[in-house]
Amino acid sequence: KAGVTQTPRYLIKTRGQQVTLSCSPISGHRSVSWYQQTPGQGLQFLFEYFSETQRNKGNFPGRFSGRQFSNSRSEMNVSTLELGDSALYLCASSLVIGQGASGYTFGSGTRLTVV
């Protein structure tokens, strides 16, 4: 079966712009989470959605937002981009929520570069 699909794979944006990243979860998965991966900070949790509702949010500024659609696909948006937002953004999906991420499957990520 198809895995978690993230688009685009690579993105270059200019400081001050905004960007939208997309994630299509595994068919049937209703929970989608987003993580930011950088060499300095490692993997950090951004937010999690289940049935179109944000269930958890990490410690990121309000410039980072997300949403989930009725078909479980999710998007995350970063406004007023800063150089420090350059990172690999990873999406993970699972069938259910609250079981310790035992069914987590990650996508290959979107590499965002802010210049």
Residues that bind other proteins (CB under 8 A): 4, 31, 33, 35, 42-45, 48, 50, 55-56, 58, 90, 92, 94, 97-102, 104-109
Is the peptide bond preceding residue 61 cis, with omega within 30 degrees of 0? no
Least separation in angstroms between residue 60's CB and other proteins is 13
Cβ distance to other proteins smaller for residue 8 or 16 = 8
Nearest one of 93, 96, 95, 97 to 105, comparing CA atoms: 93
Least separation in angstroms between residue 27's CB and other proteins is 18
Cβ distance to other proteins smaller for residue 48 or 85 = 48
Least separation in angstroms between residue 55's CB and other proteins is 5
Return d(Cα 71, Cα 52) in angstroms, integer: 9
Least separation in angstroms between residue 3's CB and other proteins is 9
Return d(Cα 4, Cα 29) in angstroms, integer: 10
What torsion do the CA atoms of 111, 58, 55, 81 make, to the nearest 10 degrees? -50
Cβ distance to other proteins smaller for residue 18 or 41 = 41
Cβ distance to other proteins smaller for residue 66 or 109 = 109
